[in-house]
């Protein structure tokens, strides 16, 4: 991507939303046991379950990066992991821009309502 076409991210405006949690991908639930696992995740504090635009399911843990400074900037920018360096990928949106996740559950009740609406 050339310098002219590279987009400018609003990192200074968002408070480093992407640095305030970590997420791991999990298999989409298919069985009652899988759905119960999602309920279990949501019964823990500071945990969200997300579904992204590609249909991937993620469990997000609200825990800021140890290198995130009080000003919302990386305190070890030159040595940040590759995952941080390549985020966001291509023209994908970031948290500040919205649209990354099509579903976000923070409580068992939200997840149960979604299941009922979607016949799960």
Distance CA 59, CA 38 (A): 9
Q: Output the pLDDT for position 37.
A: 98
Closest CA to 23 of 75, 76, 63, 68: 63
Type and span of the H or E element at 86: none
Reading the block at residue 80, the tokens are: 């940040």
- Per-residue pLDDT tens digits of the chain, which is 120 residues long: 444 445 555 566 777 888 899 999 999 999 999 999 999 999 999 999 999 989 999 999 999 999 999 888 889 989 989 988 887 777 777 777 777 899 999 999 999 999 999 976
């Amino acid at each position: 991507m050339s310098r002219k076409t590279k987009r400018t991210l609003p990192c200074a405006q968002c408070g480093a939303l992407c640095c305030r949690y970590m997420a791991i991908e999990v298999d989409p639930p298919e069985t009652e046991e899988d759905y119960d696992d999602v309920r279990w995740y949501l019964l823990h504090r500071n945990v969200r379950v997300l579904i992204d635009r590609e249909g991937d399911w993620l469990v997000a843990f609200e825990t800021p990066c140890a290198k995130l400074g009080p000003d919302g900037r990386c305190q070890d920018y030159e040595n940040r992991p590759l995952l941080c360096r390549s985020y966001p990928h291509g023209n994908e949106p970031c948290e500040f821009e919205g649209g990354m996740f099509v579903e976000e559950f923070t409580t068992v009740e939200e997840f149960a309502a979604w299941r009922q609406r979607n016949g799960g």
